[in-house]
Amino acid sequence: MAKPDGMKLTRSGFTVTVSDAAWTLRDQAQDACSFLAVHEAELATLSSLPEVEDVRLDFPIEKRDVLTQSEYFPSELVRAAGRAGIGLEITIYLCAGDET
């Protein structure tokens, strides 16, 4: 039940699934480009609202067993995200069976 006079949240947010691809940046980036091609205008409007502090695409990837792990964002994705005012983030997960 709504409580209009009750405690107000100071922050809120939401999550949208952009890709169901495997946890590889290449596959997820392709899906993100397609998503932005369809929703870029709406996302640009959202990110330009003064009440909106942060809009980002988060790409989950698996930690690989390498000395240095680097990932590449295609320029098409960077341009589309920039036009929409969206940041890009990579979250690296240690997966089952990984010891470090």
What is the C-alpha separation between 54 and 74, in angstroms, rounded? Answer: 22
**pTM summary value:** 0.80
pLDDT of 10 higher than 90: no
What is the C-alpha separation between 40 and 33, in angstroms, rounded? Answer: 10
Q: What is the dihedral of CA 65, 68, 74, 79, to 10 degrees?
A: 130
- Name which of 70, 40, 66 is nearest 55 in CA terms: 40
Q: Which is more confident, 40 or 13?
A: 40
Q: Which is more confident, 10 or 91?
A: 91
Tell me the per-residue pLDDT of 57-85, one tens digit each, with 9 for 90 and over: 999 999 988 999 999 999 999 999 999 99
Tell me the per-residue pLDDT of 18-29, one tens digit each, with 9 for 90 and over: 999 998 899 999
pLDDT of 99 higher than 90: no
Cβ contact 40:76 at 8 Å: no
What is the C-alpha separation between 35 and 79, in angstroms, rounded? Answer: 13
Q: Which two tokens stand for residue 43?
A: 């996302």
Q: What is the pLDDT of residue 1?
A: 56
